[in-house]
Amino acid sequence: MKSYRRELWFEHPQRKGFVNITREVENCLRESGIREGLCLVNAMHITASVFINDDECGLHEDFGAWLEQLAPYDVKGYAHHRTGEDNGDAHLKRTIMGREVVVAISEGRLDFGPWEQIFYGEFDGRRAKRVLVKIIGD
């Protein structure tokens, strides 16, 4: 069995946003040479997310609005803010959207269902953060 590891770095210019990282992950898969196995993609920061969904701008707007309803940014009452931070909402949003995804690899390709793409979700941006891509298989 072979193993491949690579870090992808992102610095989103806004506080919140979603970035389609499918092509970058596919490039990692090609570089790995692995044809059958599993691909783990996970955010290595506690205010960012990795998830799978459709690449449709209206859906992304819906995610943003829904997350803002569940964990609004402009709330003074987060206990986390007593530590001097102002990103309590970002931690909650990351928990909702998830830390990682695992995708099967079949015949050298990410084995997606219809419309599936991999996204990086940023909830406390304007600084560099990393995403781990770990691929194992043959």
Evaluate if residue 77 carries a pLDDT over 90.
no
Evaluate if residue 76 carries a pLDDT over 90.
no
Task: Say which CATH number the domain at 92 has.
Answer: 2.60.120.460
Distance, CA of 37 to CA of 35 (rounded, Å): 7
Judged by DSSP in three states, 61 sits in helix
Domain that holds residue 109: 2-137
- Going 27 to 30 to 34 to 35, the CA torsion angle's sign is positive
Task: Please write the tens of the pLDDT for every residue from 81-101.
Answer: 999 999 999 999 999 999 999
Assessment of whether the complete model's pTM goes beyond 0.85? yes
Under 8 Å between Cβ of 91 and 85: no
Per the structure, the count of domains in the chain is: 1
Under 8 Å between Cβ of 129 and 46: no
N- to C-terminal Cα separation, the chain: 5
Task: Please write the tens of the pLDDT for every residue from 31-75.
Answer: 999 999 999 999 999 999 999 999 999 999 999 999 999 999 988
